[in-house]
Amino acid sequence: MIHVQRLLFPAALFLILNLAGCGETPRDAAPAVPVKPALSVTTVAPQQFDWPQTLKAGGNVVAWQEAVIGAEISNYRITEVRANVGDTVKKGQVLARIDADTVQSELAEIRASVAEAEAVVAETRANHERAKQLTARGFYSPQQNTQTQTAADTAAARRDAAKARLQSAELRRSRANVAASDDGIISARSATVGTLTQPGQELFRLIRGGRLEWRAEVTAAELVRLKPGQAATLIGPNGDAVEGVVRAVAPTVDPQTRTALVYVDLPAAAGGVSAGMYARGEFRLGQSPALTLPQSAVLLREGFAYVYRVDGDKVAQVKITTGRRNGDLLEVAGIDAKARVVAGGVGFLADGDTVRVVPAQPAAKQ
């Protein structure tokens, strides 16, 4: 019995090894399971557009020109102020009145002096005429005739001087009112009722024509790209865009800051923009082609930008560079223009993931 069992064991072992070498699998072996897609995605291809080239800058908004208005006569009291800060005025409009009683009395006194001088001239001329007649008859010497001539000429000169003083007094009377030198907006006022006018004293400050300008600061490298006539857009504090035009470009660069000024004319009715404020804006330099993708297709991670290119049912992470932004579109580089990339949900993907590509849903009609 023992001998028979020893003979059967090698035979059984041989049969099992033979079956294994024939590649047969056990009947209860499990079949291979297909890989489940990580995400259902839609794809998009980069699009080529002509985008405007812009140059961003910042700077102060100031008055185009400010006129300093003061009294043209001194040591006279202000009796009325008729304009305040923010008022829009016209050229010649009265801004303040000055007490003209003293000026009027001086004018009356000088007019009397002129009348007196006219009388003296008439008298000396008559004396000279009589002297000429008496000299011709031999009653007066030529010297006496010359004296009467000199007296008449002196009286005429004094009369002319009195007339000049009269004109000056009339001019002072006409300037007893402080008037606007141009159309514009009052930006400052120091005139108060009861104060005496002083030489060179500023009573009002006027923004000529109500015109403002944006003095944008740009670097020396950016300065060469700008020229008069280019369009600019200024963003006001309320978010509204104000359109302007480059009027002039500074011919020099500040050696301390290495920046230069670009002067941009703003419209008189620039809403929300006031002199003295700091604002940002951009200059439009033209157009250039741009390869773009929706912002949702770009993944920003650790300071770099990536997209997921679809190859069959797999995605491959591709590093790209981004540039200008226009609405929801980004300028991209480093991706083939014919490639298909995942349009959204890129934050849930990893390099090499299996995906299921589905058609994009049409936009809903408004």
| Bridge partners of residue 47, in order along the sequence | 292
| Bridge partners of residue 181, in order along the sequence | none
What is the structure's pLDDT at 8?
37
Residue ranges in the chain whose pLDDT is less than 70: 1-38, 269-271, 361-366
- 40-51+289-357 under CATH 2.40.420.20, yes or no: yes
What is the structure's pLDDT at 307?
94
Q: How far is Cα 205 from Cα 224, in angstroms, rounded to an integer?
A: 35
Residue 166 Cα distances to 106, 112, 163, angstroms:
9, 10, 5
Pairing of the two strands 177-179 and 314-326: unpaired
Eight-class DSSP state of 81: E
Q: What is the pLDDT of residues 336-357, one digit of tens each?
A: 888 999 999 898 898 998 998 8
Helices 101-137 and 142-174, axial angle in degrees (round to 10): 160
| Bridge partners of residue 97, in order along the sequence | 80, 177
Q: How far is Cα 218 from Cα 259, in angstroms, rounded to an integer?
A: 5
What is the structure's pLDDT at 34?
60
Question: Closest Cα to residue 67, out of 175, 177, 181?
Answer: 181
- 67-205 under CATH 3.40.50.720, yes or no: no
Question: Closest Cα to residue 79, out of 99, 102, 100, 103?
Answer: 99
Q: How far is Cα 166 from Cα 127, in angstroms, rounded to an integer?
A: 27
Q: How many Å from the N-terminal Cα to the C-terminal Cα in the chain?
A: 94
What is the structure's pLDDT at 236?
79
pTM of the model: 0.58
| Bridge partners of residue 166, in order along the sequence | none
The superfamily (CATH) of domain 55-65+210-288 is Efflux pump adaptor protein, beta barrel domain (2.40.30.170)
Token pair 């015109």 is at which residue?
211
Eight-class DSSP state of 57: E
Q: In the structure, how many helices (H) and strands (E) does the chain have?
A: 4, 21
What is the structure's pLDDT at 362?
61
Q: How far is Cα 49 from Cα 325, in angstroms, rounded to an integer?
A: 12
Eight-class DSSP state of 196: B
CB atoms within 10 A of CB 168: 13
- Residue 289, Cα to own-chain centre: how many angstroms? 27
Q: How far is Cα 72 from Cα 172, in angstroms, rounded to an integer?
A: 8
Residue ranges per structural domain of the chain: 40-51+289-357, 55-65+210-288, 67-205
Helices (H), the chain: 2-21, 101-137, 142-174, 220-223
